[in-house]
Structure formats: structure tokens, C-alpha cells
Amino acid sequence: MRNIALVLKHEIKTTLEKRSFWLMTFLFPLFITAFSVLPQMLARSTFQQTGLEALMAAAQPRAAGYVDAAAVIRALPPGFPPVLLRAYPDEASARAALAAGEVSQYYLIPADFVATGDLTLVDSHFSAFTGMDGGRLMEFVLNYNLVGDPALARLLIDPTPSVIMQSVAAAAQNSGNPDDPFLFAAPFVVMFILFFAITMSAGFMLQSVAKEKENRTAEILLLSVRPRELMLGKVLGLGLVALLQLAVWMGGAWLALNQAGSFSAALANFTLPPGFAIWAVLYFLFGYILYASLLGALGALAPTVREGTQFTFLAIMPLLVPIWLNAAFTQAPDGALATALSLFPLTAPTAMATRLAVGHVPFWQPVVSLIGLIVTTYLFVLLAARFFRADTLLSDASLNWGRLRAELRGAVGR
């Protein structure tokens, strides 16, 4: 026990002395904000545009001409830039303007346009998508001249520009507009925080073990500490440091959500379910121990930090799956995919916490998920302990797929 405590203190002291640890601890919340919240703010500002502004922002139009044989266009909508749409008396004039570069395309409005709705576009170059955006502006101009109202003309193009959905489920944790980008960002931030907290803390485990092998410190440690005491001390020490880092990140996220309430009505009323912090800490702790044991085993086999990190992606890949499929947690948190990922032990640490942040989850699901995670973590710790042997910690053999398979078969067979 004394040896474990010594290793634990050493890991805490060594990690807290690293400048990179503190930089990441305090810069990471800013990174999360920039990565998830700011793009949502930009998206929201685009979605909130209406009328001509929205069409102009989406279309990024080029100057175009038109020949109106039906005499439909009598005036341009209020605020419409005249330089974007120029009238020509006949097709020959329009074609000459196109050849001279005065316009990049022109429309031919036939005399029977009102009866048929047919419209011909002539462009300076061919593309399968040419004129799609500019066509909406021409549609807006034609609608305005037909109905005489710019607002109605805009609605004819998109009759449902803003649909607000309201959940009637009594158990819903957070109601409001599900398309609100800030409401989407809240569970997404929870997922990212737990993902990075687990992977970074577990990564410290790999670096610590592999670095001590690389600089031959392991040879000195093994004179007074048994391999499994070394592993346990490192896991516990780095786990306490990880809890400190998680507390800073979660506290920063909580403050950010409170401040973001002034930008979003949904976030102003957004609340995490009772006991969420307890669930999040439990899933983080056991998720960290699971992946720290796995990466620690890689560190015990790798002769250098560089060789060990080559296999890191393979080890943490299950935690990446919920991030790749993050839409399932915001659009259908009770769906089959989100539920399966939150119950599967290797993806549960981030998936279940994200579902809990989104809304109501039946109580039995986080309980069953946590039990499965605890059992899986216990089995992974036992497996990883079999890699912490004097012969592996002192070996400088290269780590490759062949050796990894052989060591795994040997560890399972013991």
C-alpha cells in the first residue's frame, strides 16, 4: 500500500508540474466554445434572416439579364439591387450582353409564361448546378410581380421558413425549438468534454509508462515496486488529476451555458436533470479507468512513447463512434442507435452522459449501462495487469501487430 501511495503522489506531482497540462486545462473550454458554439451562432444568424436578405445570402447571385415577352416584370421588389437584373428588349440584345460579359446569364420569359410557367435560362458556361441559386432570385421577382407583396412572394418560395416544434411528452427534460443551435450545442459540449477528459487522461497513462521505459526509470522502480503496484498507483494518481481537470471543464461549461442564455431562449430554460453531475462523474471515472488500463498496457509493451501512440487510435476508437454519430443523440436520443451506444460498455462513458444531458432517460438504462461499464472495466484492469510484468516493462522489443497479437493471446491464456 505504501508503494502505491508513493507512485500516486509521484504521478500527481509530475503531471501538475507540466505546463502543457495547465494550458490544456484552461484553453480547452475556449476550444470547445470556438468549435461548437460559435459555428452554431453563425448558423443561427443565417437561419434568422428573412425575405430578400435570406435569398441574397444564400444565392450569392451573379448579374443576369432577362427578356420579358409576357410583360410580367413591371417593377423590382423593394431593396432589390437593379444591377443584378437587367431588362433587354429581345434575345439578340441579351445574347450580345452575355458575349460582352455584361451579364453571366439571361432568362427568356415566353409570352405564355403565366399559363405554362416555362422559363428558359441561357448561361455563359455549362454546369449541372448553374443558375440554381440565381433562379430563386428570379422566382422571387416573378412572384412579387404576380402577387404584389414581397412577404407573400417570399413565402411562395418557402412556405415554412420557420417551424417551431413543441414536445408534448410530459417526461421531456428540455422543451422548445429543437433546431435552436444552442440547444444542440449543450449536449454536444458534454460529449466533447467527457471524450477529451477520458482520452487525454488515459493518454497520460501511456506516456508515463512508455517514457519511464524509454529513459530506463522503470528499471530503478522495479527494484522496490511490483509491476501491478506501479500500474495501480499510476491509474489512481492520474485519475485524481483527471478529476481536477474535469471539474474545471465542467465548471467552465456551466458558466458558458449560463452566459449563453442571453443569446438563446432555449438555453435560458435549459436545465440538466437531477443527479446529472453524479452520473457524469461515475461514467467518467470508470471510463477513464477502462481506457487508462488499456493504454497503460500499450505503454508497457511499447519501447518508446512514439511507438505506443501509433496504436492509440485503435484503443480509443469506440469513444469516437458517438462523436461520429452525434446527430443521433440530438435528433433521436431515445432511438435504437443512441440507446444501443449508451448501453454498450465501450461507448457508454460519453453516449449515456450525452443522452442524460439531452432529456429524460428511463432510470433502468443508466443503471444497467453503468453496471456493464463497471464489469467491463474490471475485466480490462485484470487483462491490463497481465501486461505489467518485469519482462515487458524492461523489454525494448519493437511494438507491432504481430507482437501485439501474441501478447494478447498470451495474456488471455494466463
Domain boundary among 127, 157, 187: 157
- Indicate whether 9 and 77 sit together in one domain: no
Same domain, 29 and 133: no
Indicate whether 140 and 195 sit together in one domain: no
| Domain C-terminal end among 95, 122, 157 | 157
Domain that holds residue 147: 51-157
Instruction: Please give the pLDDT value at position 155.
Output: 76
97 found inside a domain: yes
Q: For residue 116, how many C-alpha atoms fall within 13 Å in the half-sphere facing its CB?
A: 9
What is the bridge-based pairing of β-strands 105-109 and 120-123? antiparallel
Reduced to 3 states, what is the DSSP secondary structure of residue 375? Answer: helix
Indicate the DSSP class of residue 10.
H
Weakly modelled stretches of the chain, pLDDT under 70: 28-62, 125-135, 160-186, 218-224, 253-272, 411-414
CATH number, domain of 70, equals 3.40.190
**Co-location of 202 and 278 in the same domain:** yes
| pLDDT for the residue 371 | 95
Whether 17 and 67 map to the same domain: the answer is: no
Which residues touch 263 (CB under 8 Å, ≥6 apart)? 41, 182
Same-domain pairing of 126 and 181:
no
Contact by Cβ (8 Å): 330, 358: yes
Number of domain units in the chain: 2
Is residue 170 domain-resident? Answer: no
Instruction: Compute the distance between CA of residue 297 and CA of residue 287 in angstroms, rounded to an integer.
Output: 16
- Residue 198, in any domain of the structure: yes
pLDDT at site 385: 82
Are residues 69 and 92 part of one domain? Answer: yes
pLDDT for residue 47: 41
For 166-217, give the DSSP string.
Answer: ----TT-SS-S-TT-HHHHHHHHHHHHHHHHHHHHHHHHHHHHHHHHHHTTH
Give the whole-angstrom CA distance, residue 316 versus residue 112: 64
- H helices present in 91-180, as ranges: 91-100, 113-116, 132-147, 150-157
Burial class (CB in 10 A: 0-12, 13-18, 19+), 117: exposed
Q: Look at residues 327, 323, 322 and name the one whose alpha carbon lies nearest to residue 348.
A: 322
Residue 201 located in a structural domain: yes
Judgement on whether residues 126 and 21 belong to the same structural domain of the protein: no
Question: Domain for residue 124, yes or no?
Answer: yes
Same domain? For 27 and 59 the reply is no
How far apart are the C-alpha atoms of 173 and 359, rounded to whole Å? 4
DSSP character for 223?
T
Q: Are residues 348 and 309 in the same domain?
A: yes
Same domain for 229 and 115, yes or no, is no
pLDDT for position 90: 92
Q: At what angle do helices 181-214 and 312-324 cross, to 10 degrees?
A: 180
What does the pLDDT read at residue 218? 65
pLDDT in tens, 69-123: 999 998 888 878 787 888 999 999 999 988 888 888 889 999 998 888 888 888 8
Residue whose C-alpha cell is 409576357? 70
Q: Are 130 and 106 in contact (CB under 8 A)?
A: no
Asked if residue 163 is part of any domain, the answer here is no
In a domain, 219, yes or no: yes
164 located within any domain: no
Long-range contacts at 51-54 (CB < 8 A, ≥ 24 apart): 51/150, 51/151, 51/154, 52/77, 52/79, 52/80, 52/140, 52/150, 52/154, 54/154, 54/161
Q: What is the pLDDT of residues 215-272, one digit of tens each?
A: 777 666 666 677 777 777 888 888 888 888 878 877 776 666 666 555 555 555 566 6
> What cell numbers appear for 336 in the block?
435504437
267 in the same domain as 292? yes
Contact 351, 190 (CB under 8 A): no
Provide the residue type at 247 as one letter: A
Task: From 107, 122, 157, give the residue that closes a domain.
Answer: 157
